[in-house]
Amino acid sequence: MARGRGGGGLVRAGELLLPQVLPADLFDGVIDPKDIGYTHPVFVFFFMPTRPTERNRERWQTDCGRLSLVIRAGELADPKKPHEFKKCVVPAGAKARFIVDYVNDYLQRHPHTNTVNMGDSLREAMDKLNLKISGTNGAALKSEAENFAASEIMIAGWFDDEVVNEGGRVAPRMRFWLEKDPRQRSIWQPEMTVSTEYANAVRSGDRLAPFLRPAMIALQHDVRAMDIHRYLVYRLRNGLKRPVPIRAQALHALFGQDIQELFKFWQAFKKSLTAAHKHYPQANIELKNDCIVLHDSPPLIPYRKIPRIGTSQP
């Protein structure tokens, strides 16, 4: 049986799959508050593509219950070519998730502005996570920042008496400038001004969705594990009154739209679940033949019912 609150572990019908005590380099049970970021819960149930493909370049849809989210690619002015525009694609992969996390957390921590510093502040944030804005990382982060800024995000809900549509362009303004000294760390200095609708949506309500930055960095080579980890952190943050079974079909809809066949997804999901669990070893998860069962678990990041957070970090 899965262990109750205060224990932890990933089990298969009573068989422990992972050790209770993990090496300190994976997770030592101590979380620095600076390592916690906050996003909107919609990004915990609706995920961007795990990788860019021809199928998701222009449009991406993901469904959860009665809700659906659509991301459409947009265009931006080319900063190097006057009067020319470049076609962006739907944001995808680990770098896109880092950008969205950074923007959403920035908006939470800076409630009086909708303009996000994507230059020095982003560089400092990435430096703290050992992600240098240079070379391949710099190009990928810049590309995904543009993709996200240009994108249009729509969410719709089908209910008994109405259909609700909300959303729009993420950032109506994206400003670039160049550093004059080529010896400086980077010539890329953009800032993103998100739409009022997007900023209000991110800041609205009192249910911030926390994520653990070091876990995201450690799992960046398994994007599905990144998504599973943040889902578990949010889903288990406030305790469970009873076990919650989640069928493979539902997990497929959440985490596996890049894999068509359910069987292949299930094999990939179990591997990613194991990777994610290494960074949340207290999570009590029972793995069955065609589902997982979430049991009451100690929260990795405790539940915080607050509309705003402090502004002490970038």
Whether residue 152 sits in one domain with residue 121: yes
Our count of domains for the chain comes to 2
Whether residue 173 sits in one domain with residue 71: yes
Q: Write out the H or E segment, with its range, that includes residue 94.
A: helix 93-109
115-134 confidence digits (pLDDT tens):
988 766 666 666 665 666 66
Half-sphere exposure of 45 (CA within 13 A, CB side): 15
85-118 confidence digits (pLDDT tens):
989 999 999 999 998 998 999 898 898 999 988 7
In a domain, 306, yes or no: no
Whether residue 177 sits in one domain with residue 53: yes
Whether residue 21 sits in one domain with residue 55: no
Per-residue pLDDT at 2 exceeds 60? no
Whether residue 250 sits in one domain with residue 191: no
Residue 302: predicted pLDDT = 77
In a domain, 308, yes or no: no
Mean pLDDT, range 144-162, rounded to an integer: 88
Residue 119: predicted pLDDT = 66
Separation between Cα atoms, residue 95 and residue 187, nearest integer Å: 19
Determine which of 33-37, 189-193, 236-240, 289-293 has the lowest per-residue pLDDT on average.
Answer: 189-193
Whether residue 128 sits in one domain with residue 22: no
Range of the domain at 201: 34-222
Mean pLDDT, range 246-272, rounded to an integer: 94
Q: How confident is the model at residue 307 (pLDDT cuts 50, 70, 90)?
A: very low
Nearest 5°: phi and psi at 244?
-120, 105
Whether residue 98 sits in one domain with residue 200: yes
Q: Is 234 helix (H, G, I), strand (E, B) or coil?
A: helix
Mean pLDDT, range 267-277, rounded to an integer: 96
Q: Which of 209, 215, 188 is nearest to 94 (CA)?
A: 215
Per-residue pLDDT at 16 exceeds 50? no
Whether residue 127 sits in one domain with residue 21: no
Task: Locate 260 and state its tokens.
Answer: 């068509």
Mean pLDDT, range 288-308, rounded to an integer: 80
Separation between Cα atoms, residue 309 and residue 281, nearest integer Å: 27
The residues that bridge with 207 in the sheet, in sequence order, are 305
Mean pLDDT, range 166-187, rounded to an integer: 61
Whether residue 57 sits in one domain with residue 19: no
Domain C-terminal end among 173, 197, 222:
222
Domain C-terminal end among 222, 247, 269:
222
Q: What pTM, to 2 d.p., does this model score? A: 0.83
Q: Per DSSP, which regions of 65-224 are E strands? A: 67-72, 75-77, 85-87, 115-117, 152-158, 163-169, 173-177, 189-193, 209-212
Whether residue 161 sits in one domain with residue 93: yes
Whether residue 196 sits in one domain with residue 54: yes
Q: Quote helix, strand, coil % in the chain, to nearest 5.
A: 30, 25, 45
In a domain, 307, yes or no: no
In a domain, 303, yes or no: no
Residue 6: predicted pLDDT = 45
Q: Per DSSP, which regions of 159-252 are E strands? A: 163-169, 173-177, 189-193, 209-212, 244-247
Whether residue 207 sits in one domain with residue 96: yes
Q: How confident is the model at residue 215 (pLDDT cuts 50, 70, 90)?
A: very high
